[in-house]
Amino acid sequence: MRIAIDTGGTFTDCVYVSDGQVRVLKTPSTPDDPGHAVWEAIEQIAGGAAAEIRHGTTVGTNALLERKGARVAFVTTQGFEDTIAIGRQNRPKLYDLFFTKEPPLAPQELRFGAAERVACDGTVLRAVEADELARLKAAVQAVRPEAIAVSLLFAFANPANEQAVGEAMREIGVPVSVSHEILPEFREYERGSTILINAYLAPKMQQYLERLDRALQTGGSRLLVMQSSGGIVPATVAAREPVRTILSGPAGGVAGAIAVAQVAGFHNILTFDMGGTSTDVALVKAGVGVKTTTEAQAFGMPVAVPMLDIHTVGAGGGSLASFDAGGALRVGPQSAGADPGPICYGRGEQPTVTDANLLLGRLSPDGLLGGAMRLDARRARDRFEQAKGKLASVETFAEGTIRVADSHMERALRKISTEQGHDPRDFTLVSFGGAGPLHACALARALRIPKVVVPNSPGALSAYGILVSDVVRDYSRTVMLRPDDRSLPEHLAGLEKTGRRDMEEAAVNAAAIRSLDLRYAGQGYELNVDWSDDFVNRFHELHEQRYGYSDVNRPVQVVNVRVRMIAAAEKPSPRRQELRSGNGKQACIGENFYERTRLHAGDRFGGPAVIVEYSATTFVPASDTVCVDGFGNLVIDVGA
């Protein structure tokens, strides 16, 4: 049996295949101990039988968000100890006079310099001596770190000095993250930040994953973990390199959306994943797929390992609504989370987006999870009445809350589409997450997107994406070569050899995909292009699309070589149902309310309509029309 589990802020979603059918289980998350909800779900599904557990985890994400990681010592080349504090000189908020940068994860007293030097071409200018290693080890040991990050200058060109420092640090007996093992690429700030984040997360992630893995192994099961890059890795790799799991859950959502959309015949899609705490959006273009980036930011800190290009905003079903000092309505980024949750769940005290949807009639009064979770509309109305301030009514407050939340999510969708040269009208919005289908039509209308697709079990699509994801490992190296350099294929072959060895150790057969990071000579950033005989022309075309110009006469430089090893996973075969004309009348459970499980393929009807199911609720406004396709997806035509 294969079970996929996605731990969210409010619910832990589980998807598994039983008797040839994809089945869903949702249980309340346990934020204080995420593994408790995971273990309970596995016991409920498998009952002690051996299984392959695929896990999308928020442990690393939450540790970064809440700054509850390890006490990390940062070791770099002497004279460059403050690189991670200086960073880049660009200001995220140019006109904010009171803006201050978040302090680095390693404060000044935990930053150490090694007396060594390697040149940019890999020449060792100053080897690290034995007495220097002893001094450095004693200095680091004296501050009693819980983890150590080692990132020396130009270690990607020649790791000899960094290997020596790393071996000395490992004698201290705490987790050690070394840059040439995780990210052998240039840019000392981004590389140092990535390794520091990895070390910051390592103790907590290792403890969590190793404990869960040991418990599963007693029953013959094994644990794999979803990466931010959209692939699965063994738990041992994720525990060693937790920086690769920061967007674990959202990456599963994108993978699930792609799988569903391709089967249904939609190839240009915008994914819209709205959960309890945040909303994640991504763009997938036909023939290209979802973009992977190495320029991501995690809470203001650069992360240079490959990640799906997912944009996240703090707007979810549990986002809190309040008024600022000037009386303006604000929604998020603070969230009620799983505990205490929205007001209507019975314990929360502050208005949330979920409460607003309930008060506007967009959620079933019978509750969620098939009636297992009752909603207290009276309690929500009372709290909204107390908090509405000068607004005329509770409904006005609720409508305003929805509109402000929608505006945050609309900006996120524009950022990944129009701001990158893509017209949203050429795409279909695939909406999922527990709260996504409630807001999808309004967002599609705002962006003039013609269709919305709501898959089966949208509240658990991230878990489904984890279930169908391939096993993936990424390898890279900075080379700084001309496009016609004869050593280029040798560098790619070397990475592929390492990848094949690792995949063989994991007992999987994998295919290699090669790519290059290219730029015009003198530029500061690169574009990734697939390896081919025509990769230079493809770079010019991509540069034209992204930036509006290209220069075929300008020299091109190959900055990094990359290899992605992919072992394809077995995917469930969806059953296509025969379409038959209908108006969905048999699914009516009240005025404008429909039970999704009673809808037939081919049913078509207009809004307003609220379509309820176990994992989510879909709201169809009056100007829109919904039909059920042969795979059970809700396909909504968005009116003008």
CATH number at residue 157: 3.40.50
CATH number at residue 233: 3.30.420.40
The residue ranking higher by pLDDT, 194 or 614, is 194
179 and 163 in one domain? yes
Kindly state the DSSP code that residue 105 receives in the 8-state scheme: S
Distance of CA 225 to the CA centre of its chain: 13
| Whole-angstrom distance, CA of residue 250 vs CA of residue 299 | 15
Of 20-34, 313-327, 493-507, the range with the lowest mean pLDDT is: 20-34
Of 537, 567, 597, the last residue of a domain is 567
191 and 81 in one domain? yes
pLDDT of residue 404: 96
What integer is the mean pLDDT of 422-446? 95
Report the candidate in 616, 608, 607, 611 with the shortest Cα–Cα distance to residue 598: 611
Residue pair 301/193 in contact by the 8 Å Cβ criterion: yes
Residue pair 636/626 in contact by the 8 Å Cβ criterion: yes
Q: How confident is the model over 529-544, as pLDDT tens digits?
A: 999 999 999 999 999 9
Q: What is the number of domains present in the chain?
A: 4
* Residue 124, amino acid: V
Residue 172 lies in a domain: yes
Q: What is the 3-state secondary structure (H, E, C) of 194-207?
A: HHHHHHHHHHHHHH
239 and 124 in one domain? no
The residues that bridge with 99 in the sheet, in sequence order, are none
CATH number at residue 557: 3.30.1490
Query: Cβ neighbours of residue 488 under 8 Å, at least 6 residues apart?
Result: 479, 481, 516, 558, 561
531 and 511 in one domain? yes
Kindly state the DSSP code that residue 102 receives in the 8-state scheme: P
| Whole-angstrom distance, CA of residue 222 vs CA of residue 214 | 9
Compute φ and ψ for 619, nearest 5 degrees. Answer: -110, 125
Q: How confident is the model over 380-429, as pLDDT tens digits?
A: 999 999 998 888 899 999 999 999 999 999 999 999 999 988 999 999 99
Of 535, 567, 599, the last residue of a domain is 567
Residue 138 lies in a domain: yes
Residue pair 31/64 in contact by the 8 Å Cβ criterion: no
Of 172, 204, 236, the last residue of a domain is 204
Residue 538 lies in a domain: yes
**pTM: predicted TM-score of the whole model, two decimal places:** 0.87
Q: How confident is the model over 225-253, as pLDDT tens digits?
A: 999 999 999 999 999 999 999 988 889 99
Residue 449 lies in a domain: no
DSSP-assigned letters across all residues of 50-93: --EEEEE--HHHHHHHTT----EEEEEETT-TTHHHH--S--SS
| Whole-angstrom distance, CA of residue 222 vs CA of residue 34 | 18
* Residue 145, amino acid: P
126 and 93 in one domain? yes
Report the candidate in 285, 229, 205 with the shortest Cα–Cα distance to residue 34: 205
114 and 78 in one domain? yes
Residue pair 377/365 in contact by the 8 Å Cβ criterion: yes
Residue 81 lies in a domain: yes
Q: How confident is the model over 276-329, as pLDDT tens digits?
A: 888 999 999 987 778 888 988 887 899 999 999 998 888 889 899 999 888 899
200 and 83 in one domain? yes
Residue 453 lies in a domain: no
Of 13-27, 364-378, 462-476, the range with the lowest mean pLDDT is: 364-378
Residue 558 lies in a domain: yes
Q: What is the chain's Cα-based Rg? A: 25
Please state, rounded to an integer, the average pLDDT across all residues of the chain: 92
DSSP H or E segment with residue 541: helix 535-547
Tokens representing residue 461 in the block: 């699509």
DSSP-assigned letters across all residues of 227-248: -TTS-EEEHHHHHH-GGGGTTH
Residue pair 229/292 in contact by the 8 Å Cβ criterion: yes
91 and 194 in one domain? yes
224 and 115 in one domain? no
Is residue 508's pLDDT more than 90?
Answer: no
190 and 115 in one domain? yes
Tokens representing residue 381 in the block: 């109305």
Residue 494 lies in a domain: yes
pLDDT of residue 444: 97
Q: In the sheet that 111-114 helps form, which strands lie side by side, from edge to edge?
A: 111-114, 72-77, 147-150, 176-178
DSSP-assigned letters across all residues of 9-35: SSEEEEEEEETTEEEEEEEE--TT-HH
- Angle, CA 445 vertex, CA 443 and CA 451 arms, to 5°: 90
Domain coverage including residue 481: 471-567
Total residue count of the chain as it appears in this document: 640
Inter-helix orientation angle 461-468/248-264, to 10°: 80
163 and 138 in one domain? yes
127 and 21 in one domain? no
